[in-house]
Structure 1
Amino acid sequence: MFKLQQKVAIVTGGASGIGLEISRTLAKLGAIVHIFEVNLNLAEREADLINANGGVAIAHKVDVSIQEDVKRAVQQINSIKPIQILINNAGISHIGNVETTSEADLDRIYNVNIKGVYNCLHAVIPYMKENGGGAIVNMASIAASVGLNDRFAYSMSKGAIRALTFQVAKDYLPFQIRCNCISPARVHTPFVDGFLKKNYPGKEAEMFKKLSLSQPIGRMAKPEEVANLAAYLVSDSAGFITGSDYPIDGGFIRLNN
């Protein structure tokens, strides 16, 4: 239905969880995928697997919270072939309310979840302007739209992502740069399994069921479902879509009452 043949894409946090599935999906659709990760060994391993399966992926050691790291990698990529797609997926979580969130916690969330996205936008958008346009997808969360227990810093960061998505979409309409965000509810990734094993030993199955049923649809999202939405939004098939937030939440925001 839509192809990304030879389009150059950057996926931050593209070697694990949702980001990995996005990298794989874009590569299957023909994109040249550049994976940004702080863990280069992990990025190289996953890029090698994508290449072995007929895709094209290149690993880069990039800490999105460091602007020079991002600028260096982006300049290198664009000097070879124009960047057309940016997926701002890298992010970290935190559990705590405003009283239990320390200044260090807040700074850590800000540096990755907000400043990291800013750094990538700041580096990539000038090239997209020169290249005649592009498509950006930022990873927000249902936490940007509804209150969740003990997610103060995380919710704050994702609310910022939702707002900056609308602002970037507005500012760059004249340059044919589209910008949207995706707001997932719980997604079944290895992170979830590790979290349950660490915090609920012996009760993993029970807690997994409880978390799954918190979505009105009765299950968690699959990473590939989020990846398919991201791929659509950066494709030419979504050429009339910009400045929108797409909840992929099994009805959580509207039907959880």
Structure 2
Amino acid sequence: MTTTPPGWYDDGHGALRWWDGQQWTEHVAQPDAESSPAPTEAEIVAGQLGFEHETAPAPSAPVAQPGLTGQPAVAAQPGHAAAPQYAPGDPGYPQGVYEGAPAGGAFTAATEPRKSSKLWIVWVVIGVVLLGIVIAAAVLIPLLMLSAATAGSTGATDDERAAVSAVELYDDAWQDGDCDAFTAATTENFRAANGFTDCPTFEADAEGFDQNFDDYEVRVTAVETQADEIAVTTEETYTALIDGNGDATDPTPGSTVYHYTLVEADGTWLIDDLYYDE
């Protein structure tokens, strides 16, 4: 039985294919610009007999590659024969070699540089950053709007903030029935105009207020300085326990817009007038 030694041989398509000694394999490689020296006959024989690293005199003629035009065939050794020459369509043509096959074959594909697998990490980081921006916007924007609204309601100056504090004290006085707080938040002119010339009168009215309304809340909606006066506008919400005629009724939510006018007296801002939208 004769066998061509295993090695890389021209497959007739400009590429090198591995011959395992019995048949062509699927391993294909592109020939280098400068090919490595072909093994000598002595090295081929040593490989067949199982010897390693044996040095023998070089043959007088070069060893040929099967199918390479213009090269002499491999010299036959005892018990060995040169690899057969094949052409497309001939019986025994190497498997995997076919017209139109991509150059390089499986070997080339295996050695192509792989795309970086770290690209997904970049996209994950970008996604996290964008998500953080969205969350920050969702949290900060409402806070900024609330801050602006609060600043507007509490006044931009010390005097306007003092005027708002007087309105809040006035509201607390009515809910708590506190005559001293009521007096501290209003001018004498205001108390006289509204019939609260003494504490018992105010306290009686404050008690009736407490019995007729629940959940009373005051929200300042605007503050404006007008010459030597400060105007404070509020929206006051409540649950009414009486109807328009003063008769008891089922609890009914309601709201009223009030307009306070405050003046300065002895360095203190006091309520001097009050009316509400009908």
Structure of larger gyration radius: 2
Please say whether Structure 1 and Structure 2 have the same fold, judged by a TM-score greater than 0.5: no
- Structure richer in strand, relative to its length: 2
* Higher RCO, 1 vs 2 (CA within 8 Å, ≥6 residues apart): 1
* TM category, shorter: under 0.3
- Structure richer in helix, relative to its length: 1
